């Protein structure tokens, strides 16, 4: 029997693409799927065959926006702080980011309540790092999706979120956790009061998001997942990965067929906005002896590729990855889990948010190499690429992991759980 399901991802490509993969399975099973998206994304989900309901997280701009423009601008303006230690970024990036997100949640709450009342969903699926009070206040079953690194779900045996600290060295954990609580205390108190005012429960201590009483999902393959001191409750399920099948097909261009490994270079839709860093990576791989596919991002017209490269503003990542031998990545959770799904080693250059946690976790579990994003030399990048390509034992481990992940797609598992709910 057909049900109506709302998907509400954060206004960025990562959470949106994750939700698209799950929603596509549900739609093919005959359910009505409605995406609640920012106005800047208007038409992008409709082009994939989904219903859309539009909303804003702030006042309309004077000029038209590109999809996710708010976050592109925000990242560009705050990019200099990415060169600083993560504990310093708590006050200069993490807290300001949460403040911007919380302001958006306040602004949109009436509109969300209006959409829920109009659509009358049987279930709401939210992939965000904070609560939008209209959802729990609706009284309808809802699903929390954690599509960032699972350090977001805090545990005494897991490094604090956004720190990028190793599991084996806890010397800096306490100081970071104390700083995290200090910089967010006022934001937490005021937003918790707003939640109550809008008919939602108060926030849990130290959290900007509620755990769902119905269903909670995260995605991180067992081969790299953390060991917890406190097992998660029965409403929690690990999807392992959530790889969409909606990307258009892609084949290796004729000009890239030949000798040398095939490398995929992408810093994501936001990270690629750092043009100087992107060009530096492109130049480093120009004489590497390898063939390179470059996801150029929104500043594509400012980047110059070498003769051993092809690139485009956007590439269908899940269709590209099966063809490559390795990827150079910012360490976003989608790219990391998709790379493991297809059995690809990674060189990781984290920029912000949970990318530090992903980069460190892949490095310490041996499935890739984390480099100092701004401090590495071109030779160090090429050496890391070559070391991973030559590691035959790693390729065997990755192939075995990919086989297991592909045998049990997380998108199908998520759809099953949502249908059961």
- Measured between alpha carbons, how far is residue 120 from residues 7, 46, 144, 281 in Å? 13, 19, 18, 48
Q: How much is the pLDDT for 347?
A: 98
**Averaged over 123-132, what is the pLDDT?**
96
Task: Say whether pLDDT at 68 is over 70.
Answer: no
Equal fold, 4-244+409-420 vs 254-390: yes
Supply the CATH classification number for the domain 4-244+409-420: 3.40.50.2000
Per-residue pLDDT tens for 133-144? 999 999 999 999
pLDDT in tens, 26-45: 999 999 999 999 888 889 89
Are the CB atoms for 328 and 311 separated by under 8 Å? no
74 falls in which pLDDT band (50, 70, 90)?
low
Confidence at residue 69, expressed as pLDDT on a 0 to 100 scale: 63
Residue 380 to residues 225, 262, 286, 305, 364, Cα–Cα distance (Å): 27, 18, 14, 20, 18
Q: How far apart are CA 261 and CA 249, in angstroms?
A: 21
Read off the tokens for 66.
Answer: 């590109």
Q: What is the mean pLDDT of the chain?
A: 92
Neighbour count for residue 148 (Cβ, 10 Å)? 28
pLDDT value of position 67: 61
Q: What is the mean pLDDT of residues 296-307?
A: 86
Q: How many CB atoms lie within 10 A of CB 386?
A: 15
On whether the CB atoms of residues 70 and 58 are closer than 8 A, the answer is yes
Reported residue count of the chain is 421
**Separation CA 60–CA 66 (nearest Å):** 13
Q: What is the CATH number of domain 254-390?
A: 3.40.50.2000
pTM (predicted TM-score): 0.92
Tokens 């310093």 locate to: 88
Measured CA distances, 273 to 107, 263, 297, 411 (Å): 27, 20, 7, 29
**Residue % of the chain over a pLDDT of 70:** 97
Residue 111: predicted pLDDT: 96
Q: Do the Cβ atoms of 8 and 36 come closer than 8 Å?
A: yes
**Predicted pLDDT at 71:** 58
Query: CB atoms < 10 A from the CB of 383, how many?
Result: 15
Domain spans of the chain, in order of start: 4-244+409-420, 254-390
What is the distance in angstroms between the CA of the first residue and the CA of the last residue of the chain? 13
Per-residue pLDDT of 336-387, as tens digits, reads: 999 999 999 999 999 989 999 999 999 999 999 999 999 999 999 999 999 9
Instruction: Select from 308, 337, 59 the least CA-distant residue to 222.
Output: 337
Cα angle value 357/295/303 (rounded, 5°)? 110
pLDDT band for position 127 (cuts 50, 70, 90)? very high
């Amino acid at each position: 029997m057909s049900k109506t399901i709302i998907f509400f991802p954060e206004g960025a490509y990562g959470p949106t693409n994750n939700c698209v993969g799950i929603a596509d399975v549900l739609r093919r099973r005959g359910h009505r799927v409605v995406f609640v998206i920012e106005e800047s994304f208007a038409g992008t989900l409709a082009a994939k065959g989904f219903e859309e309901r539009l909303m804003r997280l702030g006042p309309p701009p004077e000029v038209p926006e590109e999809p996710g423009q708010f976050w592109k601008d925000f990242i560009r303006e705050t990019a200099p702080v990415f060169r600083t230690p993560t504990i310093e970024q708590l006050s200069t990036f993490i807290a300001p980011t949460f403040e911007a997100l919380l302001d958006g949640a306040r602004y949109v709450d009436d509109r969300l309540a209006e959409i829920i009342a109009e659509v009358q969903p049987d279930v709401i699926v939210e992939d965000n790092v904070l609560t939008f009070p209209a959802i729990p206040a609706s009284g309808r079953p809802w699903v929390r999706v954690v599509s960032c690194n699972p350090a977001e779900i805090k545990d005494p045996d897991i490094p604090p979120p956004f720190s990028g600290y190793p599991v084996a060295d806890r010397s800096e954990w306490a100081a970071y956790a104390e700083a995290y609580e200090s910089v967010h205390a006022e934001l937490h108190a005021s937003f918790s009061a707003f939640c109550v005012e809008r008919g939602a429960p108060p926030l849990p201590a130290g959290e900007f998001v509620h755990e769902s009483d119905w269903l909670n999902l995260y995605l991180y393959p067992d081969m790299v997942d953390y060991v917890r001191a406190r097992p998660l409750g029965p409403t929690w399920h690990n999807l392992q990965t959530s790889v969409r099948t909606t990307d258009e097909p892609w084949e290796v261009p004729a000009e890239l067929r030949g000798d040398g490994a095939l490398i995929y270079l992408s810093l994501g839709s936001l990270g690629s906005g750092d043009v100087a860093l992107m060009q530096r990576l492109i130049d480093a791989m120009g004489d590497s002896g390898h063939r390179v596919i470059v996801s150029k991002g929104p500043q594509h017209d400012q980047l110059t590729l070498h003769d051993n490269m092809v690139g485009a503003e956007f590439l269908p990542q899940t269709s590209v990855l099966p063809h490559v031998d390795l990827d150079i990545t910012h360490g976003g959770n989608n790219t990391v889990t998709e790379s493991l799904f297809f059995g690809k080693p990674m060189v990781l250059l984290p920029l912000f948010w949970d990318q530090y946690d992903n980069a460190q976790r892949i490095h310490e579990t041996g499935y890739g190499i984390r480099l100092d994003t701004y401090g590495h030399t071109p030779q160090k990048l090429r050496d890391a690429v070559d070391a991973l390509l030559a590691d035959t034992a790693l390729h065997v481990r990755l192939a075995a992991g990919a086989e297991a992940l592909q045998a049990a797609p997380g998108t199908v598992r998520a759809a099953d759980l949502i249908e059961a709910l």
